[in-house]
Amino acid sequence: MNLKELSQMLGLSQTTISRALNGYPEVNKETRERVLQAARETGYRPNRAAQRLATGKAGSIGLIMPISPDHSSDMHFAEFQSGLAEASIVHDFHFVIMPSRAEDEEQAIRWLVASGSVDGYYLAYVRDRDPRITMAKSLSLPFIVHGRSFGLELDYPFLDVDNEGAFYDATRFLLQLGHQRFALLNGPSDLDFAHRRRLGTEKALAEKGLLLDPRHTRHSFMGDEQGYRGMKEILASADRPTAVLCASTVLALGAVRAMNEVGLKLGTDISLIAHDDELPLLKPENFSIPLTTTRSSLRAAGKRIGERLIAMINQSEPAAPEQELWKVELVVRASTGPAPT
Amino acid sequence: MNLKELSQMLGLSQTTISRALNGYPEVNKETRERVLQAARETGYRPNRAAQRLATGKAGSIGLIMPISPDHSSDMHFAEFQSGLAEASIVHDFHFVIMPSRAEDEEQAIRWLVASGSVDGYYLAYVRDRDPRITMAKSLSLPFIVHGRSFGLELDYPFLDVDNEGAFYDATRFLLQLGHQRFALLNGPSDLDFAHRRRLGTEKALAEKGLLLDPRHTRHSFMGDEQGYRGMKEILASADRPTAVLCASTVLALGAVRAMNEVGLKLGTDISLIAHDDELPLLKPENFSIPLTTTRSSLRAAGKRIGERLIAMINQSEPAAPEQELWKVELVVRASTGPAPT
């Protein structure tokens, strides 16, 4: 069954069928359902090249793949990408991925837009007053930001999680358990989410007249080794903290190893709360002492961003920028307990 | 500094400079080095659109992103992709990635090739008598296979690791320690690497007149949950095995959890060897009892495949298909010990 035969069978134009299958709003619901049912029954799958000609769309989303200093893979990126793929596969979209060092990202985006190979793109790893957002607003292609940028007006489409609220809640909970000395193993200092998580921590501490000790704060790539090394150094100090906040379960994996090495019992001698992106390999309940976490699914964020971006691409009229801020849950498990006396 | 200015400065044609920067073999070594040095000193970066016009190349590698049944991310794929990115970034290549269910892969490859958006592509997750390899040989674009396909003549370019040899060596080592009852937690049964790993295990067992018990063999997606569930079931049997082979450290992560739950001490009550793809999060030496492994870097394989594919793309003459088989090391740590008596 090809498009022409399907068109004859249904008595609809080939354009209408293409648009129905691609979810264009011009096609009414009844027609769309009739087309989808016929496509299912006849096993028809659209020819992508024909589709592209008919719609003028590439059928693709552009994204930048950040390159870590040691070129190792980043599970956070992989998990987000799997969510994006989940949305893409439904709408028959593919990705154009540009691996890029942080300093070359603006150029990489300009190329993506100029190449004509993508219909839209998403920006992530947002920084303060991020120049890429200003640039994206000046270009003609749909885009969506994963995160927000401190210092810029919020007039762009974004999806973010409430990073400040999450770390405020986590810190407040530890304060209620009597903790006074805190450590924070955070993501890279130039990234917006890390900035907001530190703000949330500092805000909760300030309410009790406490300050976050810069000697007990680390900013790094969110890898297992970084968590281990950071925690090891912090545990070696004379006035070591009794409560630790980690920006990722990956950092926590290393931090827990460092605690085990010096014989500290998690939840008794020292408490830890990690941010849980729901990475499939690092379920907090599978740690030998299950971790208390602030939870928000990175895959769900990827899926939602994919869906919104594809809807923006398929829309003929530009809509007002949609903005979403997801709440984060605090899930209490065994890694937190009263401050040791 | 643009291409025209660089051309005037060096007294070379713009085409020669483009070709030198893209590693074409037509440009001699001396000229290439002169161009590279000048590009470095002046900070010149080629304009990709111009480059594409000059060379007729898209500057991109195509790949299929397999979609797991539950849409969760696959660390093995992510780690391979990071190696591919390491090679791509050096040559200013990008990726065109098509997320695809296993049953739609052939169609996805046809589209990649027909779209004109890629200069070459790689095939992975190879099956027995894989029809995609036969198809790729009939198409006009450079390709390289990660793995090999049982039952097909070896006349295509590939890079594989010696999966059979690795599991033969691992099994033989466990037999020498006195083990007689084996379990195998393997990858999906239709994948070539899993087939070869089973063969290696069976071959070593056959030399001692032993058979692999099908009740103690599992084929699955290589996730943590799958390892846990498979091991849990196997440990519940009356004649439970004393030695376990895992096709990935991810499966081993779950398997070790299942052993801990029933109070088995790894390396004493039960021995385990896992295949180690050098996933950055799952270093075998960081398990509470360090794992004995067969080791081969997936990132290094990705990098090498990227380099070879880009060289094939940049070559004007087709070369004989290059074939590489990487040896795998057996690294002994604490998770293996004499069979319990």
Averaged pLDDT of chain B: 90
Would you call B71 and A88 a contact, using CB atoms and an 8 Å cutoff? no
Would you call A75 and B75 a contact, using CB atoms and an 8 Å cutoff? yes
Q: Residue B174 and residue B176: Cα distance in Å, rounded?
A: 5
Judge whether A112 and A98 are in contact, CB under 8 Å: yes
Would you call B49 and A88 a contact, using CB atoms and an 8 Å cutoff? no
Instruction: Answer yes or no: is pLDDT of A54 > 70.
Output: no
What are the tokens at B63?
């790949």
What number is the average pLDDT over the span B111-130? Answer: 90
Q: How many Cβ atoms from other residues are within 10 Å of residue B151's Cβ?
A: 9
With both helix axes pointing from N to C terminus, report the angle between B3-10 and B14-21 in degrees, rounded to the nearest 10. Answer: 100
- Residues in B closer than 8 angstroms to A99, CB to CB, are 85-86, 88-89, 94-95
Averaged pLDDT of chain A: 90
The reply to whether domains A58-159+297-324 and A161-295 share a CATH topology is yes
| Nearest partner of A174 among A274, A264, A251, A272, judged by Cα | A272
Instruction: Answer yes or no: is pLDDT of A5 > 60.
Output: yes
Q: How far is A96 from chain B (nearest CA, A)?
A: 5
* pLDDT score for B50: 54
Domain made up of A58-159+297-324: CATH architecture: 3-Layer(aba) Sandwich (3.40)
Would you call A283 and B223 a contact, using CB atoms and an 8 Å cutoff? no
Give pLDDT tens digits for B300-326.
Answer: 999 999 999 999 998 866 677 789 999
Residues in Cβ contact with B133 at an 8 Å cutoff, skipping those fewer than 6 apart: B123, B126, B145, B149, B152, B156
What number is the average pLDDT over the span B108-112? Answer: 87
* pLDDT score for B341: 86
Distances (CA, A) of A49 to A27, A257, B114, B294: 21, 52, 8, 44
Would you call A79 and B95 a contact, using CB atoms and an 8 Å cutoff? no
Closest partner residue to A115 (CB to CB) among B49, B114, B250 is B49
- For B72-136, give the DSSP string: ---HHHHHHHHHHHHHHHHTT-EEEEEEE-GGGHHHHHHHHHHHT--SEEEE-S-BTT-HHHHHH
| Ramachandran angles phi, psi of B330, nearest 5° | -100, 115
Question: Was domain A161-295 assigned CATH 3.30.565.10?
Answer: no
- Which H or E element spans position A285? none
Q: Which CATH superfamily is domain B1-45 in?
A: lambda repressor-like DNA-binding domains (1.10.260.40)
Tell me which chain A residue has its CA closest to the CA of residue B258.
A286
Pairing state of beta strands B143-146 and B94-100?
unpaired
Q: How far is A56 from chain B (nearest CA, A)?
A: 14
Tell me which chain B residue has its CA closest to the CA of residue A98.
B94
- Residues in A closer than 8 angstroms to B115, CB to CB, are 48-49, 52
Which of A68, A75, A97, A104 has the highest number of chain B CBs within 10 A, making it the mutation to test binding with B? A97
Q: The sheet that has A243-246: what strands, in order across it?
A: A217-219, A182-186, A243-246, A271-276, A292-295, A329-331
Domain ranges of chain A: 1-45, 58-159+297-324, 161-295
Would you call B283 and A224 a contact, using CB atoms and an 8 Å cutoff? yes
Tell me which chain B residue has its CA closest to the CA of residue A91.
B99
pTM for the structure as a whole:
0.83
Judge whether B294 and B328 are in contact, CB under 8 Å: yes
- What is the total residue count of chain B? 341
- For A211-234, give the DSSP string: ---GGGEEE----HHHHHHHHHHH
Q: How far is B180 from chain A (nearest CA, A)?
A: 31
* pLDDT score for A46: 60
Instruction: Answer yes or no: is pLDDT of B142 > 80.
Output: yes
Closest partner residue to B88 (CB to CB) among A99, A253, A280 is A99
Residue B69 binned pLDDT confidence (cut-offs 50, 70, 90): confident
- Residues in B closer than 8 angstroms to A286, CB to CB, are 224, 257
Judge whether B76 and B277 are in contact, CB under 8 Å: yes
Distances (CA, A) of A138 to A131, A132, A134, A143: 11, 10, 7, 11
